[in-house]
Amino acid sequence: MSLTLFELWVILGCGVVTLLSRTLPFVFVKRLQLPAGVIDFLTFVPITIMTALCCQGLFIAHAGHWATIDWANLYAAIPATLAGILTKSLLAVVVVGIMAMAVIRYFNWG
């Protein structure tokens, strides 16, 4: 149970970055009104960043070549998505996804 100096810097550095991302908007909103264009841009951030993060899990990068599909992840994504549609529960999506991946690994699919 120990921390390297590098790990300590990672915790502090990422902690500050995250804290500022969370709190500075509260300071700005309390003090001034954001321009309409900025607010308009920001409304698309959740859907775009979450889609890009999903893609990160579904594609395998190959520098200088076209990315390929991570078939195991794509197969597991199907029951996970169905669980979301049926239950609208984040927990169900995660649990079904993990279980599906366990089955896929067991049978060596993908």
Partner 1 sequence: MTPELSFRAGLKDVLPTVFGYIGVGLAFGIVANTSHLSLLMVAGLSFIVYAGSAQFIIASMLVAHDPLSAIMLSTFLVNSRMILMSTSLAQAFRHESLTKNLLIGSLVTDETFALAMNKRNRTEGHLSFAWQSAANVVAYLVWGVATILGAVLGSFIQNPTQFGFDFALTAMFIGLVYLQLISDKHLGLTRQLLVMIFVALIYYISLRFTSANLALLIATILGCFFGMELKKCH
Residues 63-102 within binding reach of partner 1 (CB under 8 A):
64-67, 73, 76-77, 80-81, 84-85, 88-102
Checking phi first, is residue 67 left (phi over 0); if not, alpha (psi -120 to 50) or beta? beta
Q: Does 108 bind partner 1 (CB under 8 A)?
A: no
Q: Does 61 bind partner 1 (CB under 8 A)?
A: yes
Are the C-beta atoms of 52 and 87 separated by less than 8 Å? no
Q: Does 30 bind partner 1 (CB under 8 A)?
A: yes
Task: Output the smallest distance, CB 91 to partner 1, in A.
Answer: 5
Strand-pairing partners, residue 62, are 65
Q: Indicate if the alpha-carbon torsion angle 53, 58, 63, 66 is positive or negative.
A: negative
Task: Output the smallest distance, CB 86 to partner 1, in A.
Answer: 11
Strand-pairing partners, residue 65, are 62
Q: Does 110 bind partner 1 (CB under 8 A)?
A: no
